[in-house]
Copies of this chain bind each other. A is one copy, B any other.
């Protein structure tokens, strides 16, 4: 079986690593990024630069996108120079941006009308997961399309799961972010309380992290809170984007999520105070008396 020709649009921190894995596995790769210099390393490794997204679309059997916000996704897919208007019939369009489930469903419909396939496939695992090809990839779309992309996903991630039709990947990512949102408040509030009570935060952490209060957020990001390390593994501004999408999506489904709204509100406040470029653990700032 010959390997499908791949396109990759959006070679930021995440995308660059992910695209690099495809190259290493021998896939022919066409790349585009708004800032051209961010594709330089990939081109050195053998990727072919394209001057526009539609050129990537015309060259590829499978096109991956991982861009910023839902509005960027919309433009990339629905614009005149966009992917749906310019892909060959049968092309599979794979959006790995964390974006709106409803938009993913719309892409699915319009792709289908144009004789294309669409898979939504947001990831979790961050820059390290991308670099080490250990991402969790949460997919929605037709099963056959998913199965054609699966070998390529396998170059980028460890947990690869199709959870349903178009939109299901984004919905799953939202469920992931919703769980994290309130947990982050719990972690920050717990450690702020411990400090205010005059306890050693390290010691409290060591006692509580292995029990019922234990979480990835506590052990990884709580530790950064204690150390005063605010550098971004995952940006506050991106987390706010995700929570906004989740709230909209829940609203559309008639679901009230007070914990999520509370978390969003606090992160909004944090961003207003200039912390959008910090890591999500910077929420701890709000609890400094």
Contacts and interface: CB of A to CB of B under 8 A. Distances in A.
Contact of A207 (B138, B200, B204, B255): B138
A62 interface: no
B207 A190 contact: no
Interface size class of A (residues with CB under 8 A): 35 or more
Contact of A161 (B192, B207, B254, B263): B207
A148 interface: no
A45 interface: no
A212 B216 CA distance: 6
Nearest to A207: B161
A164 B198 contact: yes
A183 interface: yes
A93 B193 CA distance: 26
30 contacts: A124-B211, A136-B208, A159-B207, A161-B203, A161-B206, A163-B200, A171-B193, A172-B199, A175-B194, A175-B204, A176-B208, A176-B211, A182-B184, A182-B185, A183-B213, A193-B249, A212-B216, A212-B217, A213-B216, A214-B216, A215-B216, A215-B218, A254-B289, A255-B287, A256-B287, A257-B287, A258-B266, A259-B259, A259-B262, A259-B266
Contact of A255 (B172, B174, B192, B217): B192
Interface in A107-135: 124-126
Contacts of A214: 215-216
Contact of A179 (B172, B187, B254, B287): B187
A191 B179 CA distance: 8
Interface of A: 101, 124-126, 136, 138, 159, 161, 163-164, 167-168, 171-172, 174-194, 196-200, 203-204, 206-208, 210-218, 220, 234, 246, 249-250, 253-260, 262-263, 266, 287, 289
Contact of A215 (B185, B217, B257): B217
B178 A189 contact: yes
